[in-house]
Amino acid sequence: MNLKNIRVVLVNPLYASNVGAACRAMKNMGLNDLALVAPRCDVTTHECQQWACHANNILKKRREFATLAEAVADCELVAGATARPGLYREHTRTPRDWAPRLLAATATGHVALVFGPEDNGLGNDDLALCTQLMRIPSSARYASLNLAQAVMVVGYELFTATKRFKIPTERTAEAPNGMREQMFKMWRQGLLEIGFMEEQMADHMMLGLRRIFSRGPLSENDVRILIGVGRQMQWCAGEMRRRGAVPPRAKTKP
């Protein structure tokens, strides 16, 4: 899978802001090859550069073509995005469905992702050059997406399918039971000493705390912090006693 072999082709784009925003979407999703087919806007404007933000390198190295046929002439697969209904558009599939095949083709050649102009989308002549048709799932009440948003959605599906992105994991393992019990012991004593609860209600209140802390995983680092909180509670209570102050009793409901 080679994302460098994926080309984003914008056919007759109307607005420079959309071209710039599409560049940003491309860079977010690891795509770099932009082709414009007979653009109807000036993509050299400051507005376009602003929308591209940190993806101006993609905008600067864009290639412009007179026709879609020229823009995709060297591509093995050409996937066109369309939201319009029609006899020759009924075999569309979602970008997620097409992603594995499109990515597989990048191992041996170029793949084009083609997006039509903002006013009418891709015409039948454009679709005739496409080997695959994509339809981005959207509400029937308003199926047409903004051009740059469509580039982002398709790019996201392809990037996700590469499985290159890994969700960050906890730096430490989940805390063992003995460590958690040490934490609960310190919290019980600390909450008693600062007056948050009375002895006869302590067991009941601690069951509530256990329930709170069991709703998600607690890593060793998490529990170390909570043990530190319990230790600080006990220290503060000791300082108050040393100064002759009595911690107020909290009014808690069972």
* DSSP conformation letters of 98-109: HHHHHHHHTTTS
- Looking at the fold, whether 115 and 20 belong to one and the same domain comes out as yes
- Looking at the fold, whether 91 and 61 belong to one and the same domain comes out as yes
Asked if residue 249 belongs to a domain, the reply is no
CA 210 to CA 183: how far, in whole Å? 10
Query: What CATH number should be reported for the domain holding residue 76?
Result: 3.40.1280.10
Q: From its phi and psi, is residue 195 left (phi > 0), alpha (psi between -120 and 50) or beta?
A: left
Provide the residue-wise pLDDT of the chain in tens; the chain has 254 residues. 789 999 999 999 999 999 999 999 999 999 999 999 999 999 999 999 999 999 999 999 999 999 999 999 999 999 999 987 766 667 789 999 999 999 999 999 999 999 999 998 999 899 999 999 999 999 989 888 999 999 999 999 999 999 988 887 777 888 999 999 999 999 999 998 888 888 999 999 999 999 999 998 899 999 999 999 999 988 988 888 888 776 655 555 54
39, 18 contact by CB (below 8 A): no
- Looking at the fold, whether 33 and 72 belong to one and the same domain comes out as yes
> Which residues constitute the domain of residue 86?
3-161
- Looking at the fold, whether 57 and 99 belong to one and the same domain comes out as yes
Number of domains in the chain: 2
- Contacts of residue 6, Cβ cutoff 8 Å, sequence gap at least 6: 31, 33, 102, 106, 110, 111, 112, 113, 158
Distances (CA, A) of 222 to 61, 124, 209, 218, 229: 47, 58, 15, 6, 11
- Looking at the fold, whether 119 and 181 belong to one and the same domain comes out as no
- Looking at the fold, whether 26 and 144 belong to one and the same domain comes out as yes
CA 53 to CA 20: how far, in whole Å? 8
- Looking at the fold, whether 40 and 143 belong to one and the same domain comes out as yes
Confidence at residue 254, expressed as pLDDT on a 0 to 100 scale: 46
**What are the beta bridge partners of residue 63?**
35
Confidence at residue 39, expressed as pLDDT on a 0 to 100 scale: 96
- Looking at the fold, whether 46 and 75 belong to one and the same domain comes out as yes
89, 96 contact by CB (below 8 A): no
pTM listed for this prediction? 0.76
Look at the chain and count its residues.
Answer: 254
Asked if residue 29 belongs to a domain, the reply is yes
- Looking at the fold, whether 181 and 72 belong to one and the same domain comes out as no
β-pair type (75-81, 110-115): parallel
Distances (CA, A) of 237 to 46, 117, 185, 233: 62, 69, 16, 6
Confidence at residue 13, expressed as pLDDT on a 0 to 100 scale: 97
